[in-house]
Amino acid sequence: MIELTNGEITLRPFSLADRRQWQRVRRENRDWLGQWEATVPKIGRNSQSESGAASFSKMLRTFRKEARAGRSFSFAIFRGPNLIGQINLGGIIYGALRGGHIGYWISKEYANRGYMTEAVNMVTDFAFNELALHRLEINIRPENEASIRVAEKCGYLYEGLRPRYLHIDGAWRDHHCFVRENIAIK
């Protein structure tokens, strides 16, 4: 199990014991996070989504399978015993590209206190130092000024606009692409 800590926050994989706290934080932040949340476009006949423990368990199984394969690492962000957010290092490709992307969310109660900046720095260090990735991206909606500040504070540079990049909050949305390269990889 990969656990990252800086003394103030801890990043670790979710466990079944986190289900109630995750559901509570997500429920309390539904409106806060809704405008930034990825959605699945309706293509043909979509199956019914699962709810409650079944969907949380399925999410954990997927996270574990992806981590074992080295394709994605999903971390719960804790400050002491409190779940305050989540950060994912996904889309990992090795070989000639050696890259991936970071996505994250934080509870409104803990926003604008530097915790997400710390989490992004910790995951970036893990990706560069442990996985020897060369390039990381953070793709952010242009309206999400707080998230843009996080990327910039973490040394990510604006690369350009990605029109209609991800399906967010029910529609295809433009994103700004921020990139950081591992200069130690030649």
For residue 48, pLDDT over 60 is answered with: no
User: What does the alpha-carbon distance between residue 66 and residue 28 come to, in Å, rounded to a whole number?
Assistant: 28
Would you call 102 exposed, middle or buried from its count of C-beta atoms within 10 A (0-12, 13-18, 19+)? buried
Q: What pLDDT does residue 22 have? A: 97
User: What does the alpha-carbon distance between residue 126 and residue 108 come to, in Å, rounded to a whole number?
Assistant: 26
In 148-180, which positions are buried (b, 16+ CB within 10 angstroms) versus exposed (e)?
bebbeebebeeeeeeeebeebeeeebebbbbbb
Q: How confident is the model at residue 186 (pLDDT cuts 50, 70, 90)?
A: confident
CA angle 159, 156, 178 (to 5 degrees): 35
Query: Can you tell me which residue has the tokens 């574990």?
Result: 64
Q: What pLDDT does residue 131 have? A: 97
Averaged over 19-38, what is the pLDDT?
A: 94
Q: How confident is the model at residue 155 (pLDDT cuts 50, 70, 90)?
A: very high
Q: Reduce the DSSP state of residue 124 to 3 states and report it.
A: helix
Higher pLDDT, 168 or 186: 168
Long-range CB pairs of 55-59, under 8 A, 24+ apart, other chains included: 56/16, 56/19, 56/22, 56/23, 57/16, 57/19, 59/14
Q: What pLDDT does residue 181 have? A: 98
Q: What pLDDT does residue 174 have? A: 97
Q: Lowest-confidence range among 5-9, 41-45, 126-130?
A: 41-45
Q: What pLDDT does residue 50 have? A: 44
Chain segment 86-121, per-residue pLDDT in tens? 999 999 999 999 999 999 999 999 999 999 999 999
DSSP string, 156-177: -EEEEEEEEEEEETTEEEEEEE
pTM over cut 0.85: yes
Residue 136 · residue 100 · CB < 8 Å? yes
Q: How confident is the model at residue 53 (pLDDT cuts 50, 70, 90)?
A: low
What is the rounded radius of gyration, in angstroms, for the C-alpha atoms of the chain? 16
- Average pLDDT in the chain: 93
Q: What pLDDT does residue 51 have? A: 47
